[in-house]
Structure 1
Amino acid sequence: MRKLDLLDFQILQILQVDARKSYTEMGHMLGVSEGTIRSRINRMIEDEIFQFIVHTDPVKVGLHVQAIIGMSTKLGHQEKVAEQLGKLRAVRFIGAFSGRNDLIIQAYFRSNEDLTAFVNEDLANIEGIASAEVSIELKQYKDSFSYVTADGVEDTAG
């Protein structure tokens, strides 16, 4: 994998704002050819720097309940539990963390009843989960995947 340069970061910033922008438009904006933009984007995709995805608004597609669920796992079971969680359709994110929870997941549901069934059926059937703490999102203030600026990664210290 090659190191990202200024042009790569500029391309990423443009894509974060509007991934539908044409390669020709980006080339004009950045003073390079459409072919340069195309090759840079293809290289970054091959190097798994980013991927094109559709980010839907969960509420607008009928998923009205978002839950963050922190779990403690039995010793030696974390990987197996994470693998099983990854197979569940409602689960959007899984991460291993330090602190009180070994794993934290983000999951979306149509209703509180669906969330309850998920906890009492799906999670209850996964061997190795010692406990789960469910937090339901009450209000969302920010949901962003944009953290790259034209000159690199955003400085979050200020």
Structure 2
Amino acid sequence: MDDLDFEIIKRLQTDGRTSYTDISEDLGITVGTVRNRVQRLIENQILKIVGVVNPFKTGSPSVTIFGLKVRLQKLDNVIKKLVAIPEVRFVAASTGVYDLYVEVITSSNEELYRVMKNDISQIDGIESMESSLLLEIFKQSYDWEVGSQTSQQ
């Protein structure tokens, strides 16, 4: 990745619907260059362009964050099984109290209970889990500074 890639990403973070023409004019490059670079960033799983919704306003009022302690020799298998659960929207390894953080979005508390009981708790290697039900989202931002080629050296 070079500085041009970071500039393209920065514009798409602000508004994922920004046209390649607008980006090319803003950066003084061709539309084809923007298209090719965006495609490469997507293929390399550096960039994903999506519509982000607030689950509380779209009929999914149960948003829960789980902190999981996992037997480290089973970590890869636990991650693989968590990722396969449709209601799981986010899985991240971490340092500190928990080995993994997992976000689960369901349409009701009954559905959340089913996912906890029938899916998550059945995964071999999870030693303990704690959950926090989110009540409201006050900030959901995706336009953080991605850096540049020179800052990564």
State the TM-score, normalizing by the size of structure 1. Answer: 0.82
- The reply on whether 1:4 has 2:5 as its aligned counterpart is no
Contact 1:12-1:148 within 8 A present in 2 as well: no
Contact 1:73-1:102 within 8 A present in 2 as well: yes
SS in 1 for 2:73: coil
Aligned equivalents of 2:94, 2:21: Cα separation in 1: 42
Taking a change above 3 Å as real, the CA distance of residues 46 and 85 of structure 1, as seen in their structure-2 partners, is closer
Once the two structures are superposed, what CA deviation does each residue of 1:84-130 show, in whole Å capped at 9, x if it has no partner? 11110111111222222122101101111211222122122212222
- What does residue range 106-121 of structure 1 map to in structure 2 within 5 Å? 106-121=103-118
Taking a change above 3 Å as real, the CA distance of residues 74 and 18 of structure 1, as seen in their structure-2 partners, is closer
- The reply on whether 1:92 has 2:89 as its aligned counterpart is yes
Aligned equivalents of 2:11, 2:30: Cα separation in 1: 15
Aligned equivalents of 2:89, 2:96: Cα separation in 1: 21
What are structure 1's unaligned runs of at least 5 residues?
none
Aligned equivalents of 2:41, 2:63: Cα separation in 1: 32
2:53 is matched with which residue: 43, 52, 56?
56
Contact 1:64-1:110 within 8 A present in 2 as well: yes
SS in 2 for 1:21: coil
Aligned-residue sequence identity (percent) comes to 34
State the TM-score, normalizing by the size of structure 2. Answer: 0.84
1:40 is matched with which residue: 37, 42, 53?
37
Question: Higher helix proportion, which one?
Answer: 2
One-letter code of the match for 1:107?
Answer: V
Misfit runs of 4+, over 6 Å: none
SS in 1 for 2:139: coil
Aligned equivalents of 1:90, 1:146: Cα separation in 2: 25
Taking a change above 3 Å as real, the CA distance of residues 48 and 124 of structure 1, as seen in their structure-2 partners, is closer
2:140 is matched with which residue: 143, 146, 151?
143
2:66 is matched with which residue: 50, 69, 77?
69
Contact 1:92-1:107 within 8 A present in 2 as well: yes
Q: Which residue number corresponds to residue 105 of structure 1?
A: 102
Once the two structures are superposed, what CA deviation does each residue of 1:54-74 show, in whole Å capped at 9, x if it has no partner? 323222332111111011223
Q: Which residue number corresponds to residue 152 of structure 1?
A: 148
Q: 68-77 or 90-99, which moves further after superposition?
A: 68-77
Q: CA RMSD in A?
A: 2.2
Taking a change above 3 Å as real, the CA distance of residues 47 and 76 of structure 1, as seen in their structure-2 partners, is closer
